Structure 1
Amino acid sequence: MLNPDRLLVRLKARLAPEFWEILDRASQLARERQWHLYIVGGIVRDLLLLDRGKNDSLNLPDIDLSVDRAPVAATPGAGIELATALQKHYPQTRLEVFSTFQTATLVWQGSDRLNSFSIDFATARTETYAYPGANPQVQASSIREDLYRRDFTVNAFAVRLTHPDRGELLDFFDGLTDLGSRHLRVLHEKSFIDDPTRMYRGARFAVRFGFEFDLHAQRLIQDAISSGIYARTLAERDKVPALQTRMQAELRYTLGASYSQAALTQLAALNALQCLHPTLSLDDRSWWHLRWVSRAWQRLDESHRPSLWLTRLEVILAGLAPEFRESVAQNLQLPDDSQHRLKNLDRLQKTFAETLPQCDRPSQVVRCLQAYHCDSLWLVMVTSPRRVRHKIWQYLTQWQAVKPPLNGKDLQQMGYRPGPHFRTILEALKAALVDGEIEGDTEDEIRNNARLFVLNNYHL
């Protein structure tokens, strides 16, 4: 059994002093109200995972606190009351209240060390789901019931911050054993039916920390998917906006991470992508596209990089039959332009497959592509044959940024009278520069050669 004093010492040692002061103040306020206060969630798990021989810190962007009033449930809204009381000591914070869920969040602002740091306060509560994927309905309860609603045993720890038994580790569901064996074990049979995003969170956690779903969790995932419950639920799009929001958030975290390929490999092995659509899977071609995206994205200048998680998701959804892509994108509440790209992908692929191979000069490629948004070109590029992909890549990385070496003022100084023909001349200059007809070792030399080009091709 872990020594409570030692656990608090380890927690304090790995938190920045400012964070520990806030927790200490919150525990005092809870004790004044005869409540028990617990730190719960990922911070406890991470504390237990840390090698005791290292001085790793736990500087987290957020901390979760839970309030109960053992042996009976705390007053509904206790978490909100505690957050409100703590804000009086930290007036620089912003208080956000979510009465429906009996929770509140304090967000620190205007501090170099604490800026954007937040604490979530919750009354210990139970959750019930009116239907799969719904937002939970909550009711005040004990800390044990509060921890039971969590996704996996290794996330169901709590450390008591108030007396008596300050520093006690609460592990009602043998999470320490699972932590030692690196297993993800669920707490109840309907876990993945109530909230399919749990399998995505589990996959992210597994690849980050070297865990794996235990056999029972794997079977529950398979049973949930094969039941068809997700397809039926997502078909009622207006009924489950909460699920759509949570699913998009999980995909954003997973696909934007450095370990995305490992997480996707695990999700694909579990057939978990079928939560998005019953026919969705990753074949060899899809994997190749995803690897290409990762390599190409690294080679781009930061200012020209598309959204990595969204590009990866669009590549995955491009593997669906065309008639399903837009509806899945709508279910996931993707941006309108993303839905538009997926809807028009086949048409653009066909257009570029016909036109780009006929372009012998870079300027011809520029004329074909300059009317399209970069993100649309990215998706077509990734999912097209090499001869098309290569030309779009050259456009995005080289030719797109080329500007005419002269401007309208330069043309006037050369004696040309302003008019619509200026646009024609400038476009011709840009094309000549892209095609290598105008060259030079310095900017001045390029500009001088550009003037000669204009004089030789356009009469004053």
Structure 2
Amino acid sequence: MDVVTTHHNADFDGLASMVAVRKLYPNARLVLSGGAQKSVHAFLLAHDLNLTKLKDLDLAQVTKLILVDTHDPDRIGPFKQCWLDPKVEVQVFDHHGADPSGSGASAIGKSIAQVIETVGATATMLIERVREAGVPLTSEEATVLALGLYDETGSFTYSSTTSRDLQAAAFLIDAGADLKLIEQTLHQPLDPNIVALLNDLLQHSEVHYLEGRKVLVATSTCDRGRVEAAEAVHQLAELEGVDAVVVAVVNEEHVEVIGRSRTPEIDVGWIAQEFGGGGHAVAAAAIVKGQTLTEVKERLIHLLTQRYRPTLLAKDVMTKPVKTISGETTVSETERRMTHYGVNVLPVLDGKDRYAGLVSREEIQKALFHRLGKIPTADILQSDQFAAHSDTDFHTIKQAMLERNQRFVPILEGTRVVGVITRTDLLRAWHDDVLPSVKIRPKVMDPSGVPRLVHHRDLKRQLQEKLPPRLFTLIQEAGQLADRLDLPLYVVGGCVRDLLLGIENLDLDLVVEGDGIAFARKLAAEQLGRVKAHDRFGTAVIVLPDGLKLDVATARTEYYEYPTALPTVEQSSIKKDLYRRDFTINALAVRLNGRGFGEVLDFYGGQRDLKNQAIRVLHSLSFVEDPTRVFRAVRFETRFGFHLGKDTLALAKAAVKMALFQKLSGHRLLEELKALCSEREPKSGLKRLAELDLLRFIHPKLSWTPRLEKLLFAVEETLDWYRLLYLDRKLEAWLVYMMAIAAVLPDRGVTDLLKRFPFSEREATTLKALRGGAHRLLRQLSKQPPLKPSGVCRILEGAQDEALVAIMAQSPSDRVKRLVSAYLTAWRQAVPRLTGKDLQSMGIKPGPIYGTVLTQLRDAHLDGLVKTEAEERAFIEKLLRR
């Protein structure tokens, strides 16, 4: 008699595999070796699969035993005696890995046929054999087989899923598998006892960071009735979004250990085997007798941390370097420094730079209230606050911060402060702890053409795709150097923003938490490049032999002595470095160090604002400290089609009311105007400046009028035409827009602009020449009868391209536009065939006559009077005779 069975407490994969074997061995009897999971039991009550009850089976009559979904004889109940019987043939189908012990063939001295393959479900192996044998399936049979397949692979989401599993599913769907019934069976409402067990597990759980993965370890003593703990573990893994879950649950006289893993890096099958159980890398279980729940938990954690190195330590989370203060510093000075640094807590050092305690803004303000500003800060510090070391695990620090309600933990090496963990650091790390990783994928375009983002947090792929291979290799090598020097290294700012939007940006800014200039010199030495350093700002530019440039900066913070002042900068952490930037969408960084390569750092919600297409400042005094940021905000609105956030818009309007822009230097304001007018559509930006009442800071008489709007539109069209010419000339588009602005100002407008803004000599000359001579040029070009090409060239010769484009935009005459266009595209490049050397060969003595002759020859060439070299020679001879 042939018998097919599976492990006790059968799951859907075991049941499906049994049904599949019967299709291959029609006379085989299906027998459960020891019960089934609750969901499987419920399914069998509603669906008769013609199973034989164990009590109705005579084990002595078994001649062939077929095991599915297990190869462990200790998990098949009474069928173990058949396994051990030399007269019983044993066939095994399993996907849980090779026999790890001596419980197999070698232990009993007989041959056992084992088929063990690496697939997501045992059912897959047998479905393939059914398909190859050409055995037909009923719709009900296909549904049962699909149940096992979907359940064991987590509906094909588990990391153990293979392409073979998907192909098997396709075969079953073609065979009539009822997907609706599968969904109803696998997604039943949670039993109240499951909910109670889940709650207890959540209350007694902790996360361990192992090899860069999050593993949840939970325990429960909850009386769960007859519900299956495995179902609760599956739900727990789904709820918490961690990489693996291992639980220990008290069950009558033993402790049940159950593991589920989403990643092959955390093998829960190995853990179960250590407790005498079985399973595979993504799902496993064990029964532990003779040990308490506490002992099992301690061993679990010991096994996990012994095999998988804990990786999230204080040094992985902390902010560095740290602003500290001497205990001898007065309370008043400490308050001033807190304001400058933008911090609310400072570590206090003693006279030998050893950590002494913490002082918070609350204590400082209370001391000032009591007129104690002159006392040393050491007199009011807190010395009993929790402090950690760089190798302290994050879980310990988190617990201490929560239990003590402590918002700031100094990280020490000996008595030296090397970093701090703030509430922001805690929340950020904790967010990654309890929620699935949020990722930002490149933009897709919605129907309106606006960048739309989906979530993705690792930009390694985008860096590799968007950067040239040479540049990508360079930042990888920079990250490797930073690892060797133990320096955190990041790429920051606009490049990260544009990567998230799917826009190419090769202007990389690197930031080092440490000495950026020293790092730049070491990197340049490795790359055989040279360095130009700016010691005052802690920045450097690396120039490589192939011309590639890389900006490197020291992570720094800044403060402003007064509104509109240039910032004072000091070395700081990446978090503080990003905080000093203008907008959240520019306060993003990507880690370049080894294992974290490509990880996004977003302390201030920049990814959210990119998704919401919002421009938002980082703090309410941002525009007060630097009013030029308002112009920058408008520029980003224009470039990306974004909008100012509600609060940011209100702050911009408040800055206008404060009249801060009058205090800005002409140089800083001109730089922002240049940037705005160099965008592809400056007209929208200038209109937005008018809406914010900012045009008057360019010139008091400048306002948004139909005339200005029409002129800007004409400039935009003319520049688009000019760009299509692909001329080998660099046109300053912003200067053309400035000419349009000057054209609508009063007569003294250009003089006022030249006084307000530090234009270069060429720019100033172009502005003055056009404003002073635009009408004259237009009149000359409009003469009747129409000018010949030579006449047009004499009028326009020497004019800058910016002025010529501005003339075309300002002229209402199509004929004038055609003449300027012809000059730009053809006439000014036209030259006759004969040169000065030819004149000399014709016997003409060198002298001023050469200029006269060649000029008249060029005019004749332009006007079509001479076309061949012979005609040119004849023209010159006739000219000389005259």
CA distance in 2, matches of 1:286, 1:385: 10
Structure with the greater alpha carbon radius of gyration = 2
Task: Find 1:101's aligned residue among 515, 537, 540.
Answer: 537
1:448 to 855, 871, 882: 871
Which residues in structure 2 correspond to 1:207-222 (within 5 Å)?
A: 207-222=638-653
Deviates more, 1:213-222 or 1:342-351: 342-351
What pairs up with 1:183-332 in 2 under 5 angstroms?
Answer: 183-234=614-665, 241=667, 243=668, 247-248=670-671, 250-282=672-704, 283-298=708-723, 300=725, 302-303=727-728, 306-329=731-754, 331-332=756-757
Change in Cα spacing, 1:405 to 1:154, as seen in structure 2 (3 Å) is closer
Counterpart CA distance in 2 for 1:411 and 1:16 is 52
1:410 to 1:264, Cα distance in 2 relative to 1, 3 A? same
Q: Which letter does structure 2 place at the counterpart of 1:205?
A: F
Which residue does 1:89 correspond to in 2? 526
Query: In 1, distance between residues paired with 2:542 and 2:693?
Result: 38
The amino acid of 2:583's aligned partner reads F
Query: Displacement, 1:88?
Result: 3.2
Unaligned runs of 5+ in 1: 51-55, 68-73
In 1: Cα distance, 2:495 partner to 2:852 partner: 63
> Aligned-pair distance for 1:148?
1.5
Q: CA 1:198/1:405 → structure 2, altered by over 3 Å: closer, same or farther?
A: same
1:40 aligns with 2:492: yes
Give secondary structure in 2 for the equivalent of 1:120.
Answer: strand
Letter in structure 2 aligned against 1:130:
E
Q: 2:479 touches 2:592 (CA, 8 Å); kept in 1? A: yes
Q: CA RMSD in A?
A: 4.0
The aligned counterpart of 2:761 is 336
Provide closer, same or farther for how the CA distance between residues 350 and 8 of structure 1 changes in structure 2, counting only shifts above 3 A.
Answer: closer
* 1:2 corresponds to which of 415, 423, 437: 437
1:64 to 510, 519, 537: 510
Structure with greater helix percent: 1
Query: Partners of 1:364 and 1:20 in 2: how far apart?
Result: 54
1:121 is paired with a residue whose SS is strand
Amino acid at match of 1:42: G
- Pick from 609, 612, 615 the counterpart of residue 181 of structure 1: 612
Whether contact under 8 Å (1:40, 1:159) holds in the other structure is yes
Letter in 2 for 1:255: C
Greater mean deviation of Cα atoms: 283-292 or 252-261: 252-261
CA contact (8 A) 2:511 2:574 kept: no
Structure 1 residue 164, shift from structure 2 partner: 9.6
Q: Does 1:383 align with 2:819?
A: no
Question: How far did 1:161 drift?
Answer: 4.7
1:410–1:138 distance in 2 versus 1, CA, 3 Å: closer
State the AA in 2 paired with 1:79. Answer: G
Same amino acid, percent of matched pairs: 32
Kept after mapping to 1: 8 A contact 2:609/2:616:
yes
Offset at residue 203 of structure 1 (A): 3.7
| Structure 1 residue 160: Cα displacement | 4.3
Tell me which amino acid in the other structure corresponds to 2:633. G
Tell me the residue number matched to 1:345: 770
TM-score, normalisation: structure 2: 0.42
Deviation at 1:142, TM superposition (A): 3.3
| Aligned amino acid, residue 318 of structure 1 | A
> Against the structure 1 CA distance between its residues 385 and 81, is the aligned structure 2 distance closer, same or farther, given a 3 Å change threshold?
same
Query: What is the alpha-carbon distance in structure 1 between the residues aligned to residue 468 and residue 777 of structure 2?
Result: 55
1:339 CA drift (Å): 0.6
Matches within 5 A, 1:347-366: 347-358=772-783, 360=785, 361-362=787-788, 363-366=790-793
In 2, the alpha carbon distance for the partners of 1:66 and 1:144 equals 12
Q: Within 2, Cα distance between the matches of 1:167 and 1:208?
A: 26
Q: Which segment drifts farther, 291-300 or 145-154?
A: 291-300
Deviations 1:224-261 (A, max 9, x none): 23433222333xx5xxx5x25xx42x444443444444
Residues in 2 aligned to 1:159 and 1:414: alpha-carbon distance in whole angstroms: 70
Secondary structure at the aligned position of 1:218 is classed as: helix
Q: What's the offset of the Cα at 1:408?
A: 6.0
Cα distance in 1 between the residues matched to 2:615 and 2:566:
23
> What are the superposed Cα offsets for residues 345-367 of structure 1, whole Å, 9 maximum, x if unpaired?
33312433554444634144444
Letter in 2 for 1:39: V
**Equivalent residues, number:** 424
Matched ranges for 1:73-152 at <5 A: 78-90=515-527, 92-110=528-546, 115-123=547-555, 125-152=556-583
Q: Which AA in structure 2 matches 1:118?
A: L
| 1:401–1:170 Cα change, 3 Å | closer
Counterparts in 2 of 1:325 and 1:196: CA distance versus 1, 3 Å: farther
